[in-house]
Amino acid sequence: MRNSTPLEGPVLRYAADHSMAPGPVHRWIVAETDRRFPDLVQMQIESHQGPLLAVLVELLAARRVLEVGTFTGLSSLWIAEALPADGRLVCCDVSEDYTSVARQAWERAGVADRIELHLAPALDTLARLDGTFDLAFLDADKENYPRYLPELIRLVRPGGAIVADNTLWYGRVVDDDDRSAETEGIRRFNADAAASPWLDVALLPMADGVSLMYRRSSQRS
């Protein structure tokens, strides 16, 4: 397999410098997360994933977006700021503590009125949701990824997209000795997504693996 450009420090910096720039509230979230949850900063999306989410919202002309796994709000802010003023982002998380940072960020950025936060296990929240979403971003507990997939296929409109983070799981997906629940969850998710007749999948080897999935209107034969 060809790997055209070695993606290391200066090249990653160049890519970031030629993508949408983070705003002051994105930078505040990063600093506040570092201050309050210094051991958990790796939970945030990487810097180049925010522009990808924003561009997808714009490409899809999305008005209704679903996020599973909000943490301190970095991905949700990129999504919410790309939505039109009457757009809606439904966020799912279980932590009042983490999402208190997100809530402050949404207020600071002036997008709080576009966002609905559900604090409950996401499988319960998704089961209660109906209507359709243009885009869903999955970034929560890895062991449950396979259970989220059919719910997201149900909730995302034909022609919409599902994006899942961490689908290479630090390379552990190819470590046969790793039988942890999280790694097995990601493996099952990747296998189910690739086999789904409702999805066209591009697993992008960026960040920790980002699966970009088109929700088809008819089953692939």
Ligand X SMILES: C[S@@+](CC[C@H](N)C(=O)[O-])C[C@H]1O[C@@H](n2cnc3c(N)ncnc32)[C@H](O)[C@@H]1O
> Where does this chain bind ligand X (CB under 6 A)?
43-45, 69-72, 74-75, 92-95, 98, 121-122, 139-141, 144
The residue among 155 and 198 lying less far from ligand X, judged by its C-beta, is 155
From the CB of 201, what's the least distance to ligand X, in Å?
Answer: 20
The residue among 72 and 211 lying less far from ligand X, judged by its C-beta, is 72
The residue among 37 and 214 lying less far from ligand X, judged by its C-beta, is 37
Residue 110 falls in which region: left (phi positive, over 0), alpha (psi -120 to 50) or beta? left
The residue among 98 and 198 lying less far from ligand X, judged by its C-beta, is 98
From the CB of 3, what's the least distance to ligand X, in Å?
Answer: 26
From the CB of 21, what's the least distance to ligand X, in Å?
Answer: 17
From the CB of 4, what's the least distance to ligand X, in Å?
Answer: 28
Name the burial class of residue 56, with classes exposed (0-12), middle (13-18) and buried (19+) by CB atoms within 10 angstroms of its CB.
Answer: buried
First to last CA, the chain: 28
The residue among 69 and 160 lying less far from ligand X, judged by its C-beta, is 69
φ, ψ for residue 44 (rounded to 5)? -70, 150
Question: Which position has the token pair 């977006």?
Answer: 65
Contacts of 200 (CB under 8 A, 6+ apart): 213, 214, 216, 220
Q: How many CB atoms lie within 10 A of CB 129?
A: 15
From the CB of 98, what's the least distance to ligand X, in Å?
Answer: 5
d(CA 159, CA 60): 8
The residue among 51 and 69 lying less far from ligand X, judged by its C-beta, is 69
φ, ψ for residue 212 (rounded to 5)? -105, 120
From the CB of 111, what's the least distance to ligand X, in Å?
Answer: 15
SS3 for 39-63 is HHHHHCCCCCHHHHHHHHHHHCCCC
